Each structure stands twice: as structure tokens, then as C-alpha cells.
A = this chain, B = another copy of it.
Amino acid sequence: MQMHTAKRVEIVIEKPLESRLTDALNEAGVTGYTIVPVRGGSGRSGPWTREGQVGRAGMVMIVCLIRPERLDSLLDAAFAVVERHIGVVSVTDAQVLRAERF
């Protein structure tokens, strides 16, 4: 099966920032992503869990598959949103089927 090189970017960010991040991605030309719910986690600001979150809106995980040459613009856009906020950005090498979709 014919595969194509891609980057898999995974961003964990606070839920109130979600629409700001996806807007920024859209502006950077990234229109493909998948949002996964997050049940809890831990980081420098301590542990938290989702059950019965009153007030704490929680986090979400956004997964983007993109062509390698577009990685930098994606990261710039993401960083501008994540910068002042709680959150993590990681990148992995990947292969994708159906490159016409990216």
C-alpha cells in the first residue's frame, strides 16, 4: 500500500482555548485535525480529573496529521496560542494513506 511521509502533531490544551487554537490552525492553513477528550492529567500545575469538574473546564487533545513542509507554520500558529497557557505540544514522524487528503 502506498504511504506518504507526514508529521503527527499532538497538542494538549485547556478547553477554553480550544476554539482559539482551531481558529489559529485554520488561519495557518491546517484544516485537518481530530479532537480527543481528556479525562485528567498531571503537570506542573498539579493533577486533575474530569469527573464533576465545576469551574475547571478541563483539557482536550488535538491530533493533526500534516505534510512535513507545513510543520513550521503549524507550530508557529499553535505556539502563539499555547505560549501563555497550560499545555503540551509534541511531534512524531508518521506515514499516511491517501495523501490527497492533506
What total of chain A residues lie within 8 Å of the partner, measured CB to CB?
47
The answer to the question of A52 belonging to the interface, with a C-beta cut-off of 8 Å to chain B, is: no
This protein's copies in its complex: 3
Contact residues of A: prevailing secondary structure: strand
Whether A41 is near chain B, meaning CB under 8 Å from some CB there, is yes
0/1 interface trace, chain A 79-101, chain B, CB 8 Å (1 if under): 10010000011111111111001
The winner among A31, A32, A41 for most chain B CB atoms within 10 A is: A41
Task: Give the contacting residue for A90; candidates B6, B22, B35, B90; CB below 8 A.
Answer: B6
A36, B33: Cβ atoms closer than 8 Å? no
Most buried by B among A3, A31, A97, A98: A97
